Amino acid sequence: MPGTCVIGLQWGDEAKGKLVDLLTEQHDVVVRYQGGANAGHTVVSGGQTWKLSLIPSGILRDGVTCVVTGGVVLDPASVIREMDGLESRGVRIGDKLLLSDRAHVVFPWHVTEDRLLDGIVSGGEAIGTTGRGIGPCYRDKVGRSLAVRLGDLFRPDFRERVAHVAEVKNRLFAGWGASIPPLDPAAIHAEYAAHAERLRPHVGDTTSFLLDAVEEGKRLLFEGAQGSLLDIDHGTFPYVTSSNSSGVGVASGSGVPGRWVERVIGVVKAYSTRVGGGPLPTEQVNAVGEHLRERGREYGTVTMRPRRCGWFDAVAARYTTRLSGVDELAVMLLDVLSGLDEVRICSAYEIDGRRTTRFPSHIDDLKRAVPVYETLPGWSDDLSGVRGYGDLPVRARAYLDRIGDLLGRPVSIVSVGPDRAQTIIRHASPGSTATPWPRPPHPTAANA
């Protein structure tokens, strides 16, 4: 069976882009299936840095088709900006990029709504969205009556559709007492019609394309955006994004049934980060947090916001390992921990004096969770040049092994720097797409 998934197990920014880039050479198609231009990933290759948001990093390789499916919300201007940026640096896009006609389109009214409403959350703290209109676009998708899909941009009634939605949105904004200039439907229509012409050669039915591809035995690589803890249904609601960013979203977002997925790689950073609002139980607002932020260059790719940083949270990551159906783990940014006297892993929470390894389903309980830490000795070695697992310092290996034990899956990939070359792959023969590890046992009450 041909599918591999790369899924973030924390709050996003796990450096999945680098891994997707590495795995791309073993695949024919790379699939982005949820989220939108809220995600950002940086790929460093051959001394060049690429910052991409919606277009999969597979676009950097020849012979790979990149597919953006109907589960994604798509801002045409942002896609075109990315295409221009790539082409200006010599990357040929041609027929390598397919965009689903089912993808919902982000309009200026979504961005306005995102900015107007983000501060108003029951409970006080803002979600701290990326301000890209993602939530409002998904809200209109679910609401249906004001939604516009990419395929609609090519229909004869597109102008009327924009006029209708803009009129309704203007009434809504006025009702909210927002002092903003009214939306100009003619200008919006003209802008989006021009975008549509530019994107036309890339737009089509990606669901059928992908179903044909799997049935023909093509190898698919599914690239999750954000992290499992930001999943709309299973994450730290309401401090989440608006799509299924955990492994459960692969089938619904892409239209490819889960039975085609052979290998799920769960990606974690060697520590925790979060950008935006919501609890981060292991957050370190101190010298450790500063170390992680500065060494890990923990500033948002999309918004440049400093990320909140803390110790590795094995309670949270074990939950998402199971939720996302992970077979094996990739631990990224291990080099960032070098130079700390000791390293800590949160292996349980105490909530109201009771110890638990279950990740709470309600945000109020998570807010009260006090991490219980295991402390391991740190290491000072520079890991950036290490290429073999056995060449890692014993203490770094002990740290990785403990993460694997707590999450119940083997650590098969370790990253020690941003470049493709700075990656340690354990036991996998080069070019092999098969997991080097036996699949985890079928879950039972005892091992779940």
Spatial separation of the C-alpha atoms in residues 407 and 318, rounded to whole Å: 5
Question: Based on CB atoms, which residue is closest to ligand IMP, 275 or 323?
Answer: 275
Listed ranges 275-283, 329-337, 340-348, 394-402: which one lies at the site for ligand IMP (CB under 6 A): 275-283
State the nearest-atom distance from the C-beta of 227 to ligand IMP, in Å.
7
Q: Judging by DSSP bridges, how do beta strands 220-227 and 97-100 pair with one another?
A: unpaired
Among 2, 56, 70, 135, binds ligand IMP (CB under 6 A): 135
Spatial separation of the C-alpha atoms in residues 134 and 127, rounded to whole Å: 12
CB 146 within 8 A of CB 173: no
Phi, psi of 296 (to 5 degrees): -90, 0
CB 70 within 8 A of CB 102: yes
Kindly state the tokens that stand for 232: 């709309």
Kindly state the tokens that stand for 42: 């940086």
State the nearest-atom distance from the C-beta of 315 to ligand IMP, in Å.
20
For helices 185-199 and 76-88, give the axis angle rounded to 10 degrees.
40
Residue nearest to ligand IMP (CB): 276
Listed ranges 88-96, 149-157, 273-281, 369-377: which one lies at the site for ligand IMP (CB under 6 A): 273-281
Among 128, 238, 404, 408, binds ligand IMP (CB under 6 A): 128
The partner residues of 65 in beta bridges, in order of sequence, read 29
Among 210, 275, 337, 345, binds ligand IMP (CB under 6 A): 275
Does 13 interact with ligand IMP (rule: CB under 6 A)?
A: yes
Question: Based on CB atoms, which residue is closest to ligand IMP, 14 or 328?
Answer: 14
Site string for ligand IMP, 215-244 (x = CB under 6 A): ----------xx---x--------x-xx--
CB 203 within 8 A of CB 154: yes
Task: Based on the residue annotation, tell me whether 362 is a catalytic residue of this protein.
Answer: no
Q: Which of 187, 181, 158, 165 is nearest to 112 (CA)?
A: 181
Among 6, 39, 67, 213, binds ligand IMP (CB under 6 A): 39
Q: Which amino acid is at 55?
A: I
Task: Based on the residue annotation, tell me whether 118 is a catalytic residue of this protein.
Answer: no
State the nearest-atom distance from the C-beta of 305 to ligand IMP, in Å.
7
Spatial separation of the C-alpha atoms in residues 147 and 159, rounded to whole Å: 14
State the nearest-atom distance from the C-beta of 249 to ligand IMP, in Å.
13
List contacts with ligand IMP (CB under 6 A). 11-13, 38-40, 127-130, 132, 134-135, 225-226, 230, 239, 241-242, 275-277
